[in-house]
Amino acid sequence: MTQLSMTVNGQPVSHDIEDNMLLVTYLRETLALTGTHIGCDTSQCGACVIHINGVSAKSCTVLAVQAEGKDVTTIEGIASGDRLHPMQQAFHDQHGLQCGYCTPGMVMSAIELVQANPALSEQDIREGLEGNICRCTGYHNIVKAVQTGAQAMRKA
Partner 1 sequence: MKFGIGQSVKRVEDRVLLVGQGRYTDDEMPGEGYAVAFLRSPYAHAVLTSLDISAAVTAPGVIMAASHADMAADNVGEIHCQQYVDNSDGTVVPRTTKPAMIADIVRYAGDIAAMVVAETRQQAMDAIELIEADYDSMPAVCDVYAALEDGAPQLYDCYPNNVVFDWASGDLDGARAGIAAAKADGHKIIEVDIVNSRLLASALETRPIVAQPDGESLTLWLPSQGPAPLASQIAEALGMKDDELKVLTGHVGGGFGYKIFLHPEQLCVAWAARKIGSVVRWQQERSEAFLSDVHGRDNRTKAWAAVDKTGKILAMEVSVHANMGAWLSNFGIYIPTLSATRTLTGPYDIQTVGMRVRGIVTNTPAVDAFRGAGRPEANYLLERLMDHIAAELSIDRFELRRRNLIKPEQIPYTMVEGGAVDSGDMPGLLDEIIEKADVAGFAARRAESEAQGKYRGLGLAMYLEQCGQGGGGGVDIEFEANGSVILYAAQQDNGQGHLTTLTQIFSDRLGYDSDLIKVVQGDSLRTPPGTTGGAKMASVLGSSVSEAASLIAVDAQKLAAEHLGVDDADVGLAEGVFTASGTNQSISIEELVRLTATEDGPHPLNRFNNYKASGATYPYGSHIIEIEVDKASFVPQIVRYTTMDDFGNILNPLTLFGQIQGGIAQGVGQALYEYLAYDETGQLLSGSLMDYTLPRADHLPMLDNHTRNTPCQNNLLGVKGAGEAGAIGAPPAVISALCDALGVVHIDMPATLDTIWKVMQAKKAAA
Binding site for partner 1 (CB under 8 A): 18, 20, 28-30, 32-42, 44-45, 47, 74-76, 79, 84, 88, 91-93, 95, 97-104, 107, 122-123, 125-127, 129-130, 132-143
Q: Which CB sits closer to partner 1, 16 or 41? A: 41
Q: How far apart are CA 124 and CA 114, in angstroms?
A: 10
Least Å distance, CB 89 to partner 1, is: 8
Strand partners, 22: 63
Strand partners, 2: 17
Would you give the end-to-end CA distance of the chain in angstroms? 43
| CB 38, CB 47: distance < 8 Å | yes
Q: Which CB sits closer to partner 1, 4 or 69? A: 4
Least Å distance, CB 111 to partner 1, is: 12
DSSP letter (8 states) at residue 120: -
DSSP letter (8 states) at residue 80: B
Least Å distance, CB 34 to partner 1, is: 4
Q: Which CB sits closer to partner 1, 17 or 69? A: 17
